[in-house]
């Protein structure tokens, strides 16, 4: 115990004296939080749109006004022919072109109906689906209105879907992204700091003195990671507090539960950091390994892309990452107010992964030089 | 019972045999020097004795424990000063000491007094708050010694402790080593400085992973049967050296300023030198006048060179003579 404490105190003193690292530990979460919170926005709005109006009637102007009113389309200009629509899209000035045919208003008045054309820049799939669904909705609403006006009474649609969105009804990205960010950041910093902490000893030649001392491997490993557990919790708190203040991210479930379950996740990442440290001779290698590991975490865990939409193989890979399960836990608790019982599946996964990492670390980490 | 009893230790790394069949006994309270060039296998031998490198074959008992079966028991009872000192540059002098005290489990009740004692003893007290990274080599060495002895180990290993340290610090360091030894600490020290070897009670010479000889510095030197003279040969130093080297009785010829230093085995160096270089009648004689002959007592360095030559004659005739260390 005295030995474990000696390591932990020493490690804390080193961290405290390393102003740069210390600043990074707080600055990285804050910066990432603001970046991800503001920049990653999957709710598409204000798509620049050009209009090619062949009709120039009250009805066509009404359609344009309705589209603008949704907030999805920003009408950035009127053009005179198809070539100009294409040019605007190709030049990036617009992502959508609305083409209203001649006789638009006349055909509507005659009751035969008229078809407006919407030209969408397909390079960003997210814009396509939003632009199309909104346009179709506008057309349907308008058609219904016209039909009602003609028939003089409201008809009933045969099939209707009544949406009831739980937990993030305004569908704000930040609410989804910020809790996940806790997981991504903890993965990055915990793995990086532990792997670098051991690699540093190796690089500076102090590891030999540790190996020749009577300290046990487990005391060395635990003593090394204790200070970083504290740092992990500090980072997590920073994100939760700033997330709540700036982005209005709710915490519906038990904070105590969140902190308790986070321990398993933090420990799993620290253990992995130890495994990485046994493969790296220098701090630089440790850092490279960390970033190599971070990428699949961001892509396969469900942090940015829906887990259910991934191919089966990618899902299997994703299940081996602690982040995947932690994301479900942290989103479950903050957004849906989930309880332990509801998270038991993730808990089992996370604990198993932790066990595997610890086993791997203790197999790899030997008190021998050669 | 010796403090260290190593029997036929060998260690290979892949195809490389770093240590070959090394046996040595170190008695209580002595300063035992392990002498050899860089890469001779000194550090690997030491690392096997402290239990951090497993021997490929052979065995060793250190402070009463088997290094293979129970390395941790060995580790608790020894101090080890590594080549690079193993200090944390970003901790203060006191924090480094405190860390090692914790690492070796110095009891809480004893810790405070022991830290003060060691700081005082090594003259580190005025620098206790200084960051270790800002210390000079000599001070780092003192601190490293303080850290390695914080738990008052009965056996202390020093791996190249004076590398990169100024001569004044080296001298005071060796005084500290002798003080520790006088108080009953057994010390094993590796070095490639021959002058340091003379300060040890006993020596083991390691060359290419094997021990060539063991004994007190005097014994080791005497066993070589060396005779050495420094002579003046006038202008033709180069020619003189060439013919001397060709003579089988001559072990080594080295220019020493304007003079030549000639070492012979089992025969008087002056006689041989005069005979080889002397009058026109001598075999191969060049007629070079030998003047200002000074007999020199052979030292450990001479003995080491002689041993390396001996080894080369025994094993591979074609080995080039070692340059003087």
**Domain limits of chain A?**
47-166, 172-369
How far the first Cα of chain A sits from its last, in Å, is 27
CA-nearest residue to A219 within chain B is B103
Residues B189, B191, B192: CA angle, nearest 5 degrees: 165
Find the CB nearest A209 among B47, B54, B82.
B82
Give me the DSSP letters along B127-190. GTTSBGGGS-HHHHHHHHHHHHTTT--SEEEEESTTTT--HHHHHHHHHHHHHHHHTT-EEEEE
Least confident of A338-352, B139-153, B170-184, B302-316: B302-316
CA-nearest residue to A200 within chain B is B88
Q: Cβ–Cβ of A370/B44 closer than 8 Å?
A: yes
Which helix (H) or strand (E) segment holds residue A306: the answer is none
Name the residue with higher pLDDT: A68 or A163.
A68
Q: Cβ–Cβ of B52/A367 closer than 8 Å?
A: yes
How many Å apart are CA B272 and CA B275, to the nearest integer?
A: 5
- Is the pLDDT confidence value at B67 over 90? yes
- The residue of A213, A216, A218 whose CB has the most chain B CBs within 10 angstroms, and thus the best one to mutate to test that interface, is A213
Q: What is the pLDDT of residue B280?
A: 43
Find the CB nearest A205 among B86, B91, B99.
B86
Name the residue with higher pLDDT: B313 or B188.
B188
A contact residues 199-228, partner B, Cβ 8 Å cutoff? 204-206, 208-216
Over residues A2-16, mean pLDDT: 91
- Is the pLDDT confidence value at A203 over 60? yes
Determine the number of helices (DSSP H) and then strands (DSSP E) in chain B.
11, 14
pLDDT in tens, A123-149: 877 777 777 888 888 888 888 777 777
CA-nearest residue to B153 within chain A is A213
Q: What is the pLDDT of residue B246?
A: 85
Q: Cβ–Cβ of B85/A5 closer than 8 Å?
A: no
Q: Chain B: give the shortest CA distance to residue A213, in Å.
A: 6
A196 touches chain B (CB under 8 A): no
Over residues B24-38, mean pLDDT: 92
Task: Provide, as residue numbers in chain B, all residues whose Cβ is less than 8 Å from the Cβ of A216.
Answer: 72
Name the residue with higher pLDDT: A152 or B279.
A152
Quick one: pLDDT band at residue A41, thresholds 50, 70, 90?
A: low
- Is the pLDDT confidence value at B319 over 70? no
What's the token pair of residue A346?
């993730």
Q: What is the pLDDT of residue A153?
A: 56
Quick one: pLDDT band at residue A264, thresholds 50, 70, 90?
A: very high
How many Å apart are CA B213 and CA A227, to the nearest integer?
A: 50
Q: Chain A: give the shortest CA distance to residue B163, in Å.
A: 15
Over residues A37-62, mean pLDDT: 82
Q: What is the pLDDT of residue A336?
A: 82
Q: Cβ–Cβ of B91/A13 closer than 8 Å?
A: yes
Average pLDDT, chain A: 84
Q: What is the pLDDT of residue A161?
A: 64
- Is the pLDDT confidence value at B284 over 80? no
Task: Give the pairing type, strands B250-256 and B259-265.
Answer: antiparallel
In sequence order, which residues have a C-beta less than 8 Å from that of residue B209 and are 6 or more positions away? B17, B18, B19, B20, B22, B40, B41, B44
Q: Kindly indicate whether the ipTM for this predicted assembly is greater than 0.90, answering yes or no.
A: no
Name the residue with higher pLDDT: A179 or B94.
B94
Q: What is the pLDDT of residue A163?
A: 64
Name the residue with higher pLDDT: B75 or A2.
B75
Q: What is the pLDDT of residue B281?
A: 47
Q: Chain A: give the shortest CA distance to residue B268, in Å.
A: 48
Q: What is the pLDDT of residue B317?
A: 55
Over residues B119-134, mean pLDDT: 94
Quick one: pLDDT band at residue A154, thresholds 50, 70, 90?
A: low
pLDDT in tens, A77-101: 888 888 888 888 888 888 889 899 8
Q: What is the pLDDT of residue B286?
A: 65
Sign, CA torsion B107/B108/B113/B114: positive
Question: Which CATH superfamily groups domain A47-166?
Answer: abc type-2 transporter like domain (3.40.1710.10)
Task: Provide, as residue numbers in chain B, all residues whose Cβ is less than 8 Å from the Cβ of A3.
Answer: 102-103, 105
How many Å apart are CA A288 and CA A281, to the nearest integer?
A: 12
- Is the pLDDT confidence value at B324 over 50? no
Q: Give chain B's radius of gyration (CA, Å).
A: 23
Q: What is the pLDDT of residue B285?
A: 54
Find the CB nearest B88 among A206, A211, A367.
A206
In the numeric block, the tokens 């101090």 are attached to: B79
Q: What is the pLDDT of residue B102?
A: 94
What's the token pair of residue B80?
């080890």
Average pLDDT, chain B: 88
CB atoms within 10 A of CB A56: 12
How many Å apart are CA A366 and CA B123, to the nearest integer?
A: 36
B129 touches chain A (CB under 8 A): no
- Is the pLDDT confidence value at A355 over 70? yes
B315 touches chain A (CB under 8 A): no
- Is the pLDDT confidence value at B320 over 80? no
Q: Is residue B56 within 8 Å of B12, Cβ to Cβ?
A: yes
Over residues A292-320, mean pLDDT: 88
């Amino acid at each position: 115990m005295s030995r474990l404490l000696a390591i932990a105190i020493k490690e804390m003193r080193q961290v405290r004296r390393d102003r740069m690292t210390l600043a990074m530990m707080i600055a990285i979460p804050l910066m990432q939080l603001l970046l991800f919170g503001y920049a990653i926005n999957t709710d598409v709005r204000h798509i620049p749109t050009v209009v090619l109006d062949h009709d120039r009637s009250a009805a066509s102007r009404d359609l344009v006004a309705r589209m603008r009113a949704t907030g999805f389309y920003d009408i950035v200009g009127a053009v005179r022919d198809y070539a100009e629509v294409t040019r605007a899209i190709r030049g990036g000035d617009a992502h959508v072109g609305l083409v209203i045919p001649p006789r638009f208003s006349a055909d509507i008045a005659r009751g035969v109906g008229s078809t407006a054309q919407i030209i969408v820049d397909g390079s960003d799939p997210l814009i396509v689906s939003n632009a199309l669904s909104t346009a179709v909705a506008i057309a349907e609403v308008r058609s219904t209105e016209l039909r009602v006006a003609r028939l003089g009474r409201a008809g009933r649609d045969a099939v209707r879907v009544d949406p009831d969105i739980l937990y993030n009804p305004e569908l704000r990205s930040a609410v989804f992204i910020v809790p996940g960010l806790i997981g991504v950041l903890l993965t990055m910093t915990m793995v990086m700091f532990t792997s670098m902490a051991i690699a540093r000893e190796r690089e500076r030649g102090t590891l030999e003195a540790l190996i020749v001392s009577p300290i046990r491997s487990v005391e060395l490993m635990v003593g090394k990671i204790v200070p970083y557990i504290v740092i992990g919790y500090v980072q997590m708190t920073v994100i939760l507090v700033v997330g709540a203040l700036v982005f209005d991210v709710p915490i519906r479930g038990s904070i105590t539960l969140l902190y308790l379950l986070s321990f398993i996740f933090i420990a799993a990442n620290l253990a992995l950091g130890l495994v990485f440290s046994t493969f790296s001779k220098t701090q630089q290698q440790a850092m490279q390994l960390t970033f190599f590991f971070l990428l699949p975490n961001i892509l396969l865990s469900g942090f940015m892309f829906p887990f259910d939409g991934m191919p089966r193989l990618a899902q299997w890979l994703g299940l081996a990452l602690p982040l995947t399960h932690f994301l479900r836990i942290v989103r479950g608790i903050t957004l849906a107010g989930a309880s332990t019982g509801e998270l038991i599946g993730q808990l089992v996964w996370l604990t198993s992964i932790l066990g595997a990492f610890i086993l791997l670390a203790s197999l790899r980490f030997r008190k021998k030089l050669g | 019972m010796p403090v260290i009893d190593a029997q036929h230790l060998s260690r290979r790394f892949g195809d490389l045999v770093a240590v070959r069949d090394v046996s040595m006994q170190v008695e209580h309270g002595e300063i035992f020097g392990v002498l050899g060039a860089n890469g001779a296998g000194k550090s690997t031998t030491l690392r096997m004795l402290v239990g951090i490198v497993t021997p490929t074959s052979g065995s060793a008992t250190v402070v009463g424990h088997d290094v293979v079966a129970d390395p941790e028991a060995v580790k608790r009872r020894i101090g080890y000063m590594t080549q690079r000192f193993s200090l944390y540059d970003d901790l203060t002098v006191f924090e480094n000491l405190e860390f090692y005290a914790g690492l070796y489990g110095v009891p809480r009740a004893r810790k405070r007094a022991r830290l003060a004692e060691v700081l005082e003893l090594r003259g580190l007290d005025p620098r206790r708050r200084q960051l270790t990274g800002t210390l000079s080599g000599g001070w780092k060495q003192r601190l490293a010694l303080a850290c390695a002895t914080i738990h008052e180990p009965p056996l202390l290993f020093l791996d190249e402790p004076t590398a990169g340290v100024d001569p004044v610090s080296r001298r005071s360091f060796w005084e500290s080593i002798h003080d520790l030894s006088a108080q009953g600490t057994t010390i094993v020290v590796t070095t490639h400085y021959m002058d340091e070897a003379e300060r040890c009670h006993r020596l083991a010479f390691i060359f290419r992973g094997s021990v060539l000889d063991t004994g007190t510095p005097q014994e080791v030197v005497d066993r070589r049967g060396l005779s050495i003279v420094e002579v003046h040969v006038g202008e033709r130093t180069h020619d003189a050296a060439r013919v001397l080297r060709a003579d089988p009785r001559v072990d080594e010829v080295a220019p020493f300023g304007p003079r030549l230093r000639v070492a012979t085995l089992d025969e008087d160096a002056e006689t041989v030198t005069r005979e080889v270089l002397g009058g026109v009648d001598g075999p191969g004689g060049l007629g070079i006048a030998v003047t200002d002959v000074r007999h020199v007592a052979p030292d450990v360095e001479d003995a080491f060179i002689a041993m390396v030559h001996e080894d080369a004659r025994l094993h591979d005739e074609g080995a080039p003579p070692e340059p003087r260390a």
